[in-house]
Amino acid sequence: MIVLVDHNLEGYVVFLQGTLASEGWLDLLSISFVTLKEAGLAVDSNDRIIWQFAQSNQMLLLTANRNAKGEDSLEQTIREEITSTSLPVITIGSFARLIEREYREQCSARLADIVLYIENYLGVSRLFIP
């Protein structure tokens, strides 16, 4: 599963990826992280474009964005465009806490669980981790 990393998490995702690797999750599951730039998206792309890109490319979107302001906000986009086959947006409750080992372990275990059982989460708008 490819995870598209929102711009606000680019510096922090290294911690999460390292924890997934050290706990053996990356040996069991195919999880890779792609930044907006690596995906060919501008870092200032609006939430609607990012969500649509993730959906059309079968990527999980990983963010710390909870914004519901504006017609192209992530929350508004999800409300308007979600279908029964949409992949969920994975929202980290506190991205600043990713520097804490225990929190990171909880986030990585939850992300691995989501990837492992992704079919159970189709059509779900958001999943908050940990």
**pLDDT score of 68 more than 80:** no
Q: What is the pLDDT of residue 26?
A: 95
C-beta neighbour count of 128 within 10 angstroms:
12
Nearest C-alpha neighbor of 66 from the set 86, 25, 94: 94
**Distance (Å, whole) CA 8 – CA 118:** 24
Q: How many domains does the chain have?
A: 1
Beta carbons within 10 angstroms of residue 9's beta carbon: 21
Handedness of CA 54, 85, 26, 19 (dihedral sign): positive
Encode burial over 18-43: b for 16+ CB neighbours within 10 A, e otherwise.
ebbeeeebbeeeebebbebeebebee
Residue-number span of the structural domain to which 32 is assigned:
2-129
Q: Is the pLDDT of residue 66 over 90?
A: no
Q: pLDDT grade, residue 59 (50/70/90)?
A: very high
Average pLDDT of the chain to the nearest whole number: 94
The CATH number covering residue 54 comes to 3.40.50
- Which of 91, 99, 44, 36 shows the shortest CA–CA distance to 68? 91
**The token pair that represents 108 in the structure block:** 């990585």
Strands (DSSP E) found in the chain: 2-5, 32-35, 60-63, 89-92, 126-129
Amino acid 112: pLDDT: 97
- Write the DSSP string, 59-70: -EEEE------S
- Percent of the chain residues topping a pLDDT of 70: 98
